C-alpha cells in the first residue's frame, strides 16, 4: 500500500478512514458518529462508542495469548527481572483495581502515580483505566513543589508512590517528597498508597492517610473487578507538561481515540504486531512511556520491555543484550541516549546477536546527523527519527515502515503521519512557505484521534496556548521547520530557541548540529547569550570524545568547532565563546538543561534542578565558566 494514497485518504475522507481504523479495537457499543466537529477546534471522535483501555490492552488477549509475555520489567538498579504473561497481568491489574476500590476510588476520580519504571506502575495505570479513574503519572523524583503543583491541578483522591527509586545505585527516597508535596498542596489526596520495594525501610507512615499496597494486595486476593465501559471521549489520563507561565499544563487524553491511534501507530509507524516484542527505554512518566511502554504494545498483543536503569550499567551493552535475549523487533529510545552510547566502544553493540531487531526509533529531541550516522553504522539497521509532542500522543512526522517505508534522510523525521494535516507557515504572515524556506510547523484541525482533547479544567488556556498564534485556528507546534523538495520535513528547534545575532536569525539547533559534526565532539549544547553589541551571540558548551584534562587539547578542539561552524553556517554563526566540559547537565529523562546553561552563562540562577541527573555536571559547567572559554571571551 502506497503511503501517498493512504495519507491522502486520511485527510480527504477522515471519517471514512478513521471508521476503518476503529475496527482494530474492541467496542462494547460501536460509535454512533465518527467525528463531531461542531465547536472548532474542539472535536470528538467515535461519539457514542463505549470502550475501555484496560480491556483492549489486557482482557481481549486472554484467549489467544494468555500465556504469552505481556510485560518484562527489568531493573539493573535492583537486579530484578519480572516476566509477566497476559494472564498474570490480568490477575495483577484486577487486584490493583480492587485495592483502588477499597480506597474509595471510582470512575472519574483522579489518581496521581509517582513511581519509577516498575511493574506496579503499569498495574496501577491499567487498574485506573479498568475502573474509569483518570491517572496522572508524575515523573518519579520530581521535586516536592513540582508534585504539589500537579496535585493541586488534578485534585486526586489518591496518590500512589513507590517508597523509593534508584539511579546509578543511589537510593532516592520518594516518601519524604510525597509528604512535603502533600503538606504544600492546597488539595492533598485523602489517601497515599505506598508500594514498597524495600529500599527505604525508614519511610514514616502518616496515620489515617497512608496505606501499604502489599497488605491490601494480600487482602483482595484474586478479586475480579468488572470493566467500566466509557464513552469514547471520556478522559483517560492527564499528563503534565511545562508551560510558559510556570504552571504545568494538564494535557488531557481521551479513551477511544487514544486506543485507535495506538493500534494504528503500532502497525504503521513501529511495525509491531501480536506476539512481537517492543523495547521503549522511556520513563513511564513521559508521553512515550504512556504510549509505547504501556498502551501501544499491549493494545496490539505485543510484549513490552520496561527498563529501569542507566544505558551503561552494568556495561554499555546492556540494552543490546536485552534485545538479543528477548528477540526485540522494534526499539524506541532518544538521541541523547544514542550520544551517551557513542562515547563507548562500538563492540558493545556488535558483540550481540541483533538479528531480530528490525528498527531503532529515536525521538524526544532533534536527531543530529553525526549521531544518526554513528548509530546506523554500529547497528547495521534502519535508525528512524520521528517527531511528536506530549500534546499529540503519537508521531506527527514519521516514515511508516509498517506501511510503506521511505528512504531515511538523516536529520529528518520524515513525512506527515496519517491523519495529520501539517503545514509550514511564515511566522508573521501566516502564509505557507515554499520548499527550503523556514517557518513554523502547524497542524490544521480537527486534530486526529489520540491527540489531546483539551487542558484539564482549562479550555481557555488550551485555545490560547495552541490555537492562539495564527489566524484560522491552526495548532502551533512552536517548532521551526523546513520541508525540502521531496517533502521531507526537518525540525530546526523551538521558536523560542532562536538567536537574533545582529539582525540574523539563527536556530541553536543548526549550530549544535554543525558543532557536533566535528569528529572530536561527543555532544554539544548552544544557547543564545545577551550581547550589548549584537543583541545575542551563540555560546557553545561541548563534551569531547577524548580526555579533556590538557588545556591544549581543549583549545585545539574549540578551534576545530569554530572552523566547522564558519564553514557550514558562515561567519555570522561563529560562536562567541566555546567551553569544553566533562558532562552537560541533563534531566533524568536525558534532556539537556539548556535554560540552566543559559542562566549560568549570563551569571543568573540556573532555576529548578529537581530533575537534574548528575549534580557534578552542573558544577563542572560552573568551573568551566570560572576558568574561561577555550575560544572567545
Over residues 474-495, the pLDDT tens digits come to 999 988 999 999 999 999 877 7
Q: In this structure, are residues 138 and 147 in contact, taking their beta carbons and an 8 Å threshold?
A: yes
Between CA 481 and CA 422 the distance in angstroms is 11
Binning pLDDT at 50, 70 and 90, where does residue 143 land?
A: confident
Predicted local distance difference test score (pLDDT) of residue 184 = 94
Q: Would you report the helix, strand and coil content of the chain in percent, each value rounded to 5?
A: 35, 25, 40
513 vs 232: CA distance, rounded Å:
43
Give the model confidence (pLDDT) of 32-58 as tens digits: 999 999 999 999 999 999 999 999 999
The per-residue pLDDT for 140 is 83
Instruction: Enumerate residues 6+ apart whose C-beta is below 8 A from 204.
Output: 175, 179
pTM (two decimals) = 0.84
Peptide bond into 353 cis (omega under 30): no
Burial 220-249 (b: 16+ CB within 10 A, else e): beebebebbbbbbbbbbbbbbeeeeeeebb
Quickly state the pLDDT bin for 507 (edges 50, 70, 90). confident
- Sign (positive or negative) of CA dihedral 24, 28, 29, 33: negative
Task: In whole angstroms, give the CA distance from residue 512 to residue 355.
Answer: 33
pLDDT at 515: 94
| CA end-to-end span of the chain | 57
Residue 497 has pLDDT above 90, yes or no: no
Hey, which bits of 464-616 come out as E strands?
A: 475-483, 489-494, 498-501, 504-507, 521-531, 535-544, 577-580
Q: Is 286 left (phi over 0), alpha (psi -120 to 50) or beta?
A: beta
Q: Which residues pair with 425 in a beta bridge?
A: 432, 440
| Pure H helices in 570-613 | 594-601
pLDDT band at 614 (very low <50, low <70, confident <90, very high): confident
Strand-strand pairing, 535-544 and 577-580 = parallel
pLDDT at 503 over 70: no
Q: Confidence class of residue 513 from pLDDT cuts 50, 70 and 90?
A: confident
H or E element: which one contains 547?
none
- At 92 the pLDDT is 98
Q: Classify domain 502-632 by CATH number.
A: 3.30.300.30
Q: How far apart are CA 134 and CA 127, in angstroms?
A: 10
pLDDT at 504: 59
pLDDT for position 559: 94
Q: Measuring CA to CA, how many Å separate 615 from each of 34, 583, 620, 624?
A: 50, 10, 9, 15
- Name residues whose C-beta falls within 8 Å of residue 434's C-beta, 6 or more positions apart in sequence: none
CB distance 578 to 564 below 8 Å: no
Average pLDDT of the chain to the nearest whole number: 93
Share of the chain above pLDDT 90, in %: 77
Task: Mention every residue, 6+ apart, whose C-beta is less than 8 A from residue 4.
Answer: none
Kindly list the domain boundaries of the chain, sorted by start residue.
3-309+386-480, 502-632
φ and ψ at 58, to 5 degrees?
-130, -65
Average pLDDT over residues 274-282: 97
Residue 244 pLDDT exceeds 60: no
Q: Omega into 314 within 30° of 0, i.e. cis?
A: yes
The CATH code of the domain at 3-309+386-480 is: 3.40.50.12780
d(CA 188, CA 179): 10
Neighbours of 486 (CB within 10 A): 11
Query: Could you report the per-residue pLDDT of 154-176, keeping only the tens digit for each?
Result: 999 999 999 999 988 999 999 99
- What pLDDT sits at residue 204? 82
Widest CA span of the chain, in angstroms? Answer: 71
- Partners of 578 in the beta sheet? 540, 631
Residue 253 is inside which H or E element, if any? Answer: strand 249-254
Look at residues 355, 352, 343 and name the one whose alpha carbon lies nearest to residue 521: 343
Calpha distance 632→558 (Å, rounded): 9
pLDDT given at position 243: 57
Q: Which residues pair with 592 in a beta bridge?
A: 586
Range with lowest mean pLDDT among 202-206, 275-279, 576-580: 202-206
Length of the chain equals 633
User: With 90 as the cut, is the pLDDT of residue 384 above it?
Assistant: yes
What average pLDDT does this structure show over 613-625? 87
List all residues 6 or more positions away from 182 whose beta carbon is below 8 Å from its beta carbon: 148, 151, 159, 188, 189, 192, 209
Report how far residue 83's alpha carbon sits from residue 317's, in angstroms, rounded to the nearest whole number: 21
CB 527 within 8 A of CB 539: yes
CA distance 380 to 215: 49
Residue 534 vs residue 404, higher pLDDT: 404
Name the band, by pLDDT with cuts 50, 70 and 90, for residue 498: low
Per DSSP bridges, beta strands 191-195 and 69-75 are unpaired
Q: Calculate the CA dihedral of residues 266, 270, 276, 282 and round it to 10 degrees.
A: -90
Least confident of 60-64, 91-95, 204-208: 204-208
C-alpha distances in Å from residue 144, one per residue of 196, 209, 353, 524, 605: 19, 18, 43, 31, 19
3-state secondary structure of 314: coil
Between 247 and 504, where is the model more confident?
247
pLDDT tens sequence across 529-578:
988 667 789 999 999 988 777 889 899 999 999 999 887 777 778 999 99
Amino acid at each position: 500500500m502506497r503511503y501517498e494514497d493512504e495519507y491522502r485518504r486520511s485527510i480527504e475522507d477522515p471519517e471514512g478512514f478513521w471508521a476503518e481504523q476503529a475496527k482494530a479495537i474492541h467496542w462494547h457499543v460501536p460509535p454512533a458518529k465518527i467525528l463531531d466537529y461542531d465547536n472548532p477546534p474542539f472535536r470528538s471522535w467515535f461519539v457514542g462508542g463505549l470502550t475501555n483501555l484496560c480491556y483492549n490492552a489486557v482482557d481481549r488477549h486472554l484467549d489467544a495469548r494468555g500465556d504469552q509475555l505481556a510485560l518484562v520489567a527489568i531493573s539493573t538498579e535492583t537486579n530484578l527481572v519480572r516476566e509477566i504473561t497476559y494472564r498474570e497481568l490480568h490477575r495483577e491489574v484486577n487486584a490493583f483495581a480492587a485495592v483502588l476500590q477499597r480506597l474509595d476510588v471510582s470512575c472519574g476520580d483522579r489518581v496521581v502515580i509517582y513511581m519509577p519504571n516498575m511493574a506496579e506502575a503499569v498495574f496501577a495505570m491499567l487498574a485506573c483505566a479498568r475502573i474509569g479513574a483518570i491517572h496522572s503519572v508524575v515523573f518519579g523524583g520530581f521535586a516536592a513543589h513540582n508534585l504539589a503543583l500537579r496535585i493541586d491541578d488534578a485534585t486526586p483522591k489518591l496518590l500512589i508512590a513507590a517508597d523509593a527509586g534508584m539511579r546509578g545505585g543511589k537510593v532516592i527516597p520518594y516518601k519524604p517528597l510525597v509528604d512535603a508535596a502533600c503538606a504544600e498542596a492546597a488539595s492533598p489526596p485523602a489517601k497515599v498508597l505506598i508500594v514498597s520495594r524495600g529500599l527505604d525501610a525508614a519511610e514514616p507512615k502518616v496515620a489515617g492517610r497512608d496505606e501499604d499496597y502489599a497488605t491490601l494486595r494480600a487482602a483482595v486476593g484474586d478479586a475480579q473487578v468488572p470493566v467500566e465501559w466509557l464513552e469514547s471521549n471520556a478522559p483517560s489520563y492527564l499528563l503534565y507538561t511545562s508551560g510558559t507561565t510556570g504552571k504545568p499544563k494538564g494535557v488531557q487524553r481521551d479513551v477511544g481515540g487514544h486506543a485507535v491511534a495506538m493500534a494504528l501507530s503500532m502497525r504503521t509507524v513501529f511495525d509491531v504486531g501480536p506476539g512481537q516484542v517492543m523495547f521503549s527505554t522511556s520513563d513511564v512518566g513521559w508521553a512515550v512511556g504512556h504510549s509505547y511502554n504501556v498502551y501501544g504494545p499491549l493494545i496490539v498483543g505485543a510484549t513490552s520491555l520496561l527498563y529501569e536503569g542507566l544505558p551503561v550499567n552494568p556495561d554499555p551493552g546492556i540494552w543490546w543484550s536485552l534485545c538479543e535475549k528477548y528477540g526485540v523487533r522494534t526499539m524506541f529510545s532518544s538521541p541523547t541516549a544514542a550520544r551517551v552510547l557513542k562515547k563507548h566502544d562500538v563492540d558493545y553493540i556488535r558483540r550481540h546477536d541483533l538479528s531480530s531487531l528490525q528498527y531503532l526509533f529515536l525521538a524526544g529531541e532533534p536527531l543530529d546527523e553525526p549521531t544518526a550516522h554513528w548509530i546506523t553504522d554500529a547497528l547495521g539497521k534502519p535508525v528512524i527519527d520521528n517527531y511528536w509532542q506530549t500534546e499529540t500522543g503519537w508521531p506527527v512526522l514519521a516514515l511508516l515502515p509498517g506501511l510503506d517505508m521511505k528512504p531515511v534522510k538523516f536529520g529528518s523525521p520524515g513525512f506527515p503521519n496519517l491523519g495529520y494535516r501539517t503545514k509550514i507557515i511564515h511566522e508573521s504572515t501566516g502564509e505557507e512557505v515554499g520548499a527550503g524556506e523556514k517557518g513554523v510547523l502547524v497542524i490544521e484541525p480537527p486534530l486526529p484521534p489520540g491527540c489531546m482533547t483539551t487542558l484539564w479544567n482549562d479550555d481557555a488556556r488550551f485555545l490560547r496556548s495552541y490555537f492562539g498564534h495564527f489566524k484560522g485556528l491552526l495548532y502551533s507546534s512552536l517548532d521551526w521547520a523546513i520541508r525540502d523538495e521531496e517533502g521531507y520535513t526537518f525540525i530546526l528547534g523551538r521558536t523560542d530557541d532562536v538567536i537574533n545575532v545582529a539582525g540574523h536569525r539563527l536556530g541553536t539547533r543548526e549550530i549544535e548540529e554543525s558543532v557536533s559534526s566535528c569528529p572530536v565532539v561527543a555532544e554539544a549544547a548552544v544557547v543564545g547569550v545577551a550581547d550589548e553589541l549584537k543583541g545575542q551571540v551563540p555560546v557553545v558548551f561541548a563534551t569531547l570524545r577524548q580526555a579533556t584534562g590538557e588545556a591544549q587539547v581543549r583549545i585545539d578542539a574549540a578551534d576545530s568547532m569554530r572552523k566547522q561552524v564558519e564553514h557550514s553556517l558562515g561567519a555570522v554563526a561563529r560562536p562567541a565563546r566555546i567551553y569544553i566540559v566533562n558532562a552537560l547537565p541533563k534531566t533524568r529523562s536525558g534532556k539537556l538543561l539548556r535554560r540552566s546553561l543559559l542562566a549560568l552563562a549570563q551569571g543568573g540562577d540556573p532555576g529548578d534542578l529537581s530533575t537534574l541527573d548528575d549534580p557534578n555536571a552542573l558544577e563542572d559547567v560552573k568551573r568551566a565558566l570560572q576558568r574561561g572559554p577555550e575560544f572567545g571571551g
